[in-house]
Structure 1
Amino acid sequence: MRSAGRGRQSRGRRGRALGGSLGPWSPEASFFHYATRDVPFEAATPELRQHLTRDGRPALFTEYPDADRILLPRTPDPRLSAPLEQTLYRRRTHRSFSAQPVSLHDLAVLLRTVFGAADFIDGFEYGALIRRASPSGGARHELDAYLAAPNVTGIPAGLFHYNTREHSLELLREGFTHTEAEALCAQQEGTGQAAFIVFAVAAWERMRAKYRHPRAYRVSHLNAGHLGQTFALAATALGLGPFQSAAFDDTAVEDSLGLDSATHRTLYALAAGHPAPDTPTDTADLNAFRHTALRRGQPGRPDT
């Protein structure tokens, strides 16, 4: 049997190797990854069930009951019935958009498809839980949609919260510009032209109530990725150009939305608009492959 001392030495070597492999991401990324490895399984003991019954049932929905609201249309859209293969391979990341506004109908369809409740399931001691079109660890669905909309018809430019239960937009602040969008999203290409940006914000209480281990923090980021893929595919089916990004000023976004940054954290930015008509093709040509290492140890050609 390996001694505890040898085990600690082995873990120490793995930790140093991991830190070296992550390079400039360390020490933050290496600490997070190493500290959440090898999660123990926590069985649903009577004590845990008692805790969940007592105070482990956070509200299923986030709502702003005093906010002005816009009830969104529920009209179905046949474009979502396009063949899956067609939608998958049409999907592209867009960073150049026309000035044409996105219709309220298209926005409503997109929000309902990505963040709306498709159904409700029996979570036993947790009560009823939401089922969305995207998977979520433990069906916690801790991610809410906050909308920054500078160019959508039928609603004023502003900041909104998407109320999943009502299928409505709750007005947080009237007035929002493309310049503000760029400032919130690190001045990256496309944010100053997109018709709207949806910030996926984690309400930690919903996830933490069930999962006590910090590895659940990883799961929230995976859940954001699931939503991002559904967003990209649904936007593509509707004829919009999507992009997703983690490049944003967390504090500025959360301050703008009126969030406290302790109980709610922004994990992902999902944006869309009508693609610019002159968007160039990005297909790799022969010259691109000449500068590509196709196998380990093969350097790409230097620029000439």
Structure 2
Amino acid sequence: METLAEAAAENGTDARSATYRAHPLVRIEPAASDLWLISRDDRLNGHKVPASAAGLLVAAFAPGTIYSLSEPIMAAIGSVRRAELIAEWLVAHEYLVRDDDAEAIKTRRWLESWAENGWRAASRYHARTYGYPFEFYEADGNSAEDVRRMVAYNAQQPDVDRARPRLHDQEKVYALPDPAPELFPATASAATNLAVAAQPLDYDRLASLLSLLTRPIRQARMPFAESANLLRKTSPSGGSRHPTEFSVVTHAVDGIDDGVYQVATVDGALDRMDHLDASSRDLADLSGIADDNRPYALIFFNSYFARNRYRYREPRTFRTVHMDVGHLMGTAEYLSRANGWAVRHAQHLDGKKVADALGTDHRVEATIAATLVHAADQPAESRD
């Protein structure tokens, strides 16, 4: 069987010398018997294609000419022209792109950059959701379309999820105070300008920080039947969804046992998670930022996706949870500085390992980041 290049020469045409390769955002998945689904992460729709087209696209992960890329499938389909048409169709739908295509080169570079930081899966999600079309709501977020959608959502399922359920049979519970201005230990100016003398890290001060960080300061009634009140907190959250839950690891903090705790944000309590197989030391090691030489509190920010998706059904819900965590990390740092404490953040966690240690499913509730607070000059006392 002659090659495509030979066929082109016999027909008196020029063999196209330009090199092509699969677009860097191409995705290939099995769809049904003898069919494959090909798509691009930056587009909404894909195509079901025969194995010959999928095979050609796989070959194109290494660059080549239209002819060299098509040649491997010729034996399977027995037609030079058909192989050429498949390649041309892939080019027309931009699954195959020129190797010197500026947009594809730029995309490949940022994908490689994200992969170097361990964000390969995140980069694909970013591409899939970037520019996703939304209904245009009015600036105040109260358009008729917004109300119509929320009424429809409530008709399907009441909006009642506001906090993670309390742990049962916990051995140790520590109360958190109600949020109040007097819990903030310094002036805003002093906290902002780092002009606060370091205070000892003890439970009373830690409880004040956690109260202001995690607990609702007021509630707003929803105009929908059977819906729970919206919670307002010190950190903003889109639609007042507040999808972030909190786990806290304590070490050598006066007034509270060392351990791993779940914050009951509505009831105002720290429930010790005695049922975990992982220890507080295990979780501290997973953060990569803890130091046993001084007392510390390590706060994990865990995003509960379903709470956010109730309102934001679009794929961008997984983008907005990161905005919430960013606000909370900033608030945690601000409250810590008001006590004169040192702060470190961890944003490159192994989400699955942390979720396993906390006894959660990372596909349902994932740890996005962690913040460590400690008094820099306060040594840890032995508790042996």
**Does TM, normalized by the shorter one, top 0.5?**
yes
Counterpart of 2:382 in structure 1 is: none
In the aligned structure 1, how far is the partner of 2:292 from the partner of 2:108?
33
CA contact under 8 A between 1:241 and 1:273: conserved in structure 2?
Answer: yes
Q: Among the aligned pairs, what percent are the same residue? A: 22
CA contact under 8 A between 2:184 and 2:338: conserved in structure 1?
Answer: yes
Cα distance 1:252–1:191, how it changes in 2: closer, same or farther (>3 A)? farther
CA contact under 8 A between 2:204 and 2:255: conserved in structure 1?
Answer: no
Q: CA deviation at 1:110?
A: 0.6
Q: Which amino acid aligns with 1:197?
A: L
Cα distance 1:191–1:227, how it changes in 2: closer, same or farther (>3 A)? farther
In the aligned structure 2, how far is the partner of 1:202 from the partner of 1:233?
21
CA contact under 8 A between 1:58 and 1:209: conserved in structure 2?
Answer: no
1:144-181 Cα shifts (integer Å, max 9, x gaps): 11111122222221111111111101111289877434
- Structure-to-structure mapping, 1:181-260, within 5 angstroms: 181-186=283-288, 188=289, 190=291, 193=294, 195-260=296-361
CA contact under 8 A between 1:140 and 1:207: conserved in structure 2?
Answer: yes
Cα distance 1:24–1:117, how it changes in 2: closer, same or farther (>3 A)? same
Q: Which runs of 5+ in 1 are unaligned?
A: 93-97, 279-304
Query: Structure 1 residue 23 and structure 2 residue 112: aligned?
Result: yes
Query: Structure 1 residue 52 and structure 2 residue 154: aligned?
Result: yes
Query: Structure 1 residue 161 and structure 2 residue 265: aligned?
Result: no
Counterpart of 2:367 in structure 1 is: 266
Q: CA deviation at 1:74?
A: 4.7
CA contact under 8 A between 2:220 and 2:229: conserved in structure 1?
Answer: yes
Once structures 1 and 2 are overlaid, which stretch shifts more, 168-177 or 267-276?
168-177
Q: Partner of 2:274: helix, strand, or coil?
A: strand
Higher relative contact order (CA 8 A, sep 6+): 1
Matched positions, count = 267
Report which of the two structures shows the higher radius of gyration computed on alpha carbons.
2
Q: CA deviation at 1:204?
A: 1.1
In the aligned structure 2, how far is the partner of 1:91 from the partner of 1:25?
37
CA contact under 8 A between 2:164 and 2:245: conserved in structure 1?
Answer: yes
CA contact under 8 A between 2:290 and 2:298: conserved in structure 1?
Answer: no
Q: CA deviation at 1:239?
A: 2.3
Counterpart of 1:294 in structure 2 is: none
Q: CA deviation at 1:70?
A: 2.1
Counterpart of 2:174 in structure 1 is: 70
Q: CA RMSD in A?
A: 3.5
Q: Partner of 1:62: helix, strand, or coil?
A: coil
Q: Which amino acid aligns with 1:163?
A: A
In the aligned structure 1, how far is the partner of 2:205 from the partner of 2:147?
46
Q: Partner of 1:133: helix, strand, or coil?
A: coil
Question: TM-score, normalization: structure 1?
Answer: 0.75
Cα distance 1:166–1:190, how it changes in 2: closer, same or farther (>3 A)? same
In the aligned structure 2, how far is the partner of 1:123 from the partner of 1:236?
35
Counterpart of 1:33 in structure 2 is: 126
1:65-122 Cα shifts (integer Å, max 9, x gaps): 4143222345967572633233123189xxxxx9x97211111101111111011123
Counterpart of 1:180 in structure 2 is: 282
Q: Which runs of 5+ in 2 are unaligned?
A: 1-88, 136-144, 380-384
Once structures 1 and 2 are overlaid, which stretch shifts more, 119-128 or 142-151?
119-128
Question: TM-score, normalization: structure 2?
Answer: 0.60
Counterpart of 1:282 in structure 2 is: none
Q: CA deviation at 1:39?
A: 2.8
CA contact under 8 A between 2:179 and 2:217: conserved in structure 1?
Answer: no
Q: Partner of 1:202: helix, strand, or coil?
A: strand
Q: Which amino acid aligns with 2:253?
A: V
In the aligned structure 2, how far is the partner of 1:8 from the partner of 1:271?
49
